[in-house]
Amino acid sequence: MTTTYETILLETDARGAATVTLNRPDKHNSLNGRLIAELTDAAEKLAEDDKVRIVVLTGTGKSFCAGGDFNWFSSNIDKSRAERVEQSATLAHLLRRLDTLPKPLIGRINGPAYGGGVGMISVCDYTIGAEGSRFGLTEVKLGLLPANISPYVVARIGKVHSRETMLSGALFDCTRAERIGLLTEVVSADELDAAVERVVRDHLQAAPGAVADTKALIAYVASHDLETNMIYTADRLADAWETEEGIEGINSFLEKSTPSWRVK
Q: Is residue 145 part of a domain?
A: yes
Domain that holds residue 215: 208-255
Tell me: do 18 and 49 sit in the same domain: yes
Distance CA 106, CA 64 (A): 13
CA atoms of 173 and 205, how far apart (whole Å): 33
Say if 43 falls within a structural domain: yes
On whether residue 74 sits in a domain, the answer given is: yes
Q: Are 14 and 118 members of one domain?
A: yes
Give the tens place of pLDDT for each residue, 122-173. 999 999 999 999 999 999 999 999 999 999 999 999 999 999 999 999 999 9
In a domain, 63, yes or no: yes
Same domain for 160 and 138: yes
Q: Is the pLDDT of residue 187 over 70?
A: yes
Q: Are residues 55 and 88 in the same domain?
A: yes
Instruction: Provide the number of structural domains found in the chain.
Output: 2
Pair type for strands 172-173 and 134-136: antiparallel
Is 231 in the same domain as 104?
no
HEC assignment per residue over 145-207: CCCCCHHHHHHHHHHHHHHHHHCCCCCEEHHHHHHCCCCCEEECHHHHHHHHHHHHHHHCCCC
132 with 219, same domain? no
Residue 261 forms part of a structural domain = no
Domain identity same for 66 and 169: yes
Mean pLDDT of the chain: 94
Are residue 102 and residue 219 in the same domain, yes or no?
no
Q: Are 63 and 28 in contact (CB under 8 A)?
A: yes
Pick from 183, 203, 223: which residue ends a domain? 203
49 and 155 share a domain?
yes
Is residue 159 domain-shared with residue 193, that is, in the same domain?
yes
Q: Is residue 260 part of a domain?
A: no
Q: Over pLDDT 90: what percentage of the chain? A: 89
40 in any annotated domain: yes
pLDDT at position 240 is 95
Based on the domain organization, do 177 and 225 belong to the same domain?
no
Whether residues 86 and 116 fall in one domain = yes
User: Do 232 and 220 touch, CB atoms closer than 8 A?
Assistant: yes
Residue 226 falls inside a structural domain: yes
The span from the CA of 186 to the CA of 171, in Å, is 17
CA dihedral defined by 226, 229, 230, 233, rounded to 10 degrees? -150
Using alpha carbons, list the distances in angstroms from residue 227 to 213, 214, 230, 236, 245. Answer: 20, 19, 5, 15, 28
Here the CATH number for the domain that contains residue 38 is: 3.90.226.10
Q: Among 10-19, 66-75, 189-198, whose mean pLDDT is lowest? A: 66-75
The candidate with the shortest Cα–Cα distance to 91, out of 25, 142, 21, 152, is: 152
Q: What is the number of other CB atoms lying within 10 angstroms of the CB of residue 219?
A: 13
- Sheet with 105-109, edge to edge strand ranges: 2-4, 8-12, 17-22, 54-59, 105-109, 126-130, 185-187
Tens digit of pLDDT for each residue in 2-45?
567 999 999 999 999 999 999 999 999 999 999 999 999 999 99
Name the residue among 209, 208, 162, 167 with its Cα closest to residue 181.
162
